[in-house]
């Protein structure tokens, strides 16, 4: 497999021009405030029940919390058994494209490393792999199969507005859980999950409180416009196919995308950040990940580069690096 993008020396200084809406911050402040108001109006609150699982060495719970529009969103909470009275640090994880939270006990590494691990189901997804339990009750106009163009005519209607809001509302819920340290919350995810983590990190800092770190892995959803120009596969190609039919919609598409672009969120992140990128990635062009990384407002930031890997990135080896990075900061 060949290198799929610019040489590494150019990627390290790659800072493309990305549209930034004048009302970007106000748009998201209003969105988060409305989601909280919807939960208050309906009385929706986070609820946990023991998970049905044969796993006995960990404590696993099924969390339902109010997300966008107070819609019920599911998550698994996995924590070390017998962790005592000391509150534990938390790792919140978001999932990759079209995946679901799957079965309880399937993701246990973070809990075995001593963290409370919370993995969010992505609304409307979960039928590509894993299996999900969270529907998306909100409709959208005509769009290409997939999620990139769902609601693309207006940022208010876009699928990822709802998902990013869910991601923030999950952190609201996690901070209220017993046995967790609300001052030691980190956000992570791979591919789509990495892009969600970037958006959530900026929004949580602005509307919830500080986080100890953000750990996006081969992050998708950054620099949408240029990603569509160079990506050779889906999901970015969904945008290309949409515009090939809706030939006069480019301005509308890229305006909507600018409210959801990870580069604009990254510029607002000040928490410590560990990114990863794979230079033979055919799904997420490396320039899009570097666009977000180079835009970070963080003084403490690192990026792990995997020159000979595709979208699988650094795998378990990179997870070990994430643990080391997080332990040094929490």
Catalytic one of 102, 150, 191, 298:
191
Whether 330 is catalytic is no
Whether 276 is catalytic is no
Three-state SS string over the chain comes to CCCCCCCHHHHCCCCCCCCCCCCHHHHHHHHHHHHHHHHHHHCCCCEEEECCCCCCCEEEEEEEEECHHHCEEEEEEEEECCCCCCCEEEEEEECCCCECCCCCCCCCHHHHCCCEEEEECCCCCCCCECCCCCCCCCCCCCCCCCCCCCCCCCHHHCHHHHHHHHHHHHHHHHCCCCCEEEEEEEEEEECHHHHHHHHHHHHHHHHCCCCCEEEEECCCCCCHHHHHHHCCCCCHHHHHHHHHHCCCCHHHHHHHHHCCCHHHHHCCCCCCEEEEEECCCCCCCHHHHHHHHHHCCCCCEEEEEECCCCCCCCHHHHHHHHHHHHHCCC
Whether 191 is catalytic is yes
Catalytic one of 5, 281, 318, 330:
281
Q: Which residues are catalytic?
A: 191, 281, 311
């Amino acid at each position: 497999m060949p290198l799929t993008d610019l040489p590494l020396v150019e990627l390290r200084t790659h800072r493309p021009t990305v549209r930034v809406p004048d009302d970007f911050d106000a748009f998201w402040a209003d969105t988060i405030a409305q989601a909280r108001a919807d939960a208050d109006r309906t009385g929706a609150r986070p609820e946990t029940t023991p998970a049905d699982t044969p796993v006995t060495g960990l404590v696993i719970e099924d969390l339902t919390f109010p997300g966008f529009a107070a819609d019920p969103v599911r998550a698994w909470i996995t924590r070390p058994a017998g962790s005592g009275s000391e509150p534990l640090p938390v790792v919140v994880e978001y999932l990759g494209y079209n995946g679901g939270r799957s079965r309880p006990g399937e993701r246990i590494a973070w809990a075995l490393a001593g963290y409370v691990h919370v993995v969010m189901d992505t609304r409307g997804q979960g039928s590509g792999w894993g299996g999900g339990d969270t529907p998306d009750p909100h409709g959208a106009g005509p769009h290409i199969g997939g999620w990139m163009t769902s609601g693309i005519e207006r940022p208010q209607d876009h699928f990822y507005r709802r998902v990013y809001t869910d991601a923030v509302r999950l952190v609201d819920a996690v901070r209220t859980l017993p046995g967790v340290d609300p001052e030691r919350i980190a956000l992570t995810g791979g591919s789509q999950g990495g892009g969600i983590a970037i958006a959530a990190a900026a929004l949580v800092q602005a509307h919830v409180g500080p986080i100890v770190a953000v750990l996006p892995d081969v992050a998708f959803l950054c620099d949408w416009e240029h990603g569509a120009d160079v990506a050779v596969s889906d999901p970015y190609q969904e945008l290309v196919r949409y515009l090939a039919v809706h030939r006069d919609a480019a301005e509308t598409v890229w305006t909507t995308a600018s409210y959801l672009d990870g580069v604009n969120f990254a510029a607002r992140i000040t928490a410590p950040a560990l990114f990863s990128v794979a230079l033979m990635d055919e799904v997420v062009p490396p320039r899009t990940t570097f666009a977000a990384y180079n835009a970070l407002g963080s003084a403490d930031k690192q990026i792990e580069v995997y020159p000979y890997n595709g979208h699988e990135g650094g795998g378990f080896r990179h997870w070990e690096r994430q643990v080391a990075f997080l332990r040094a900061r929490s």
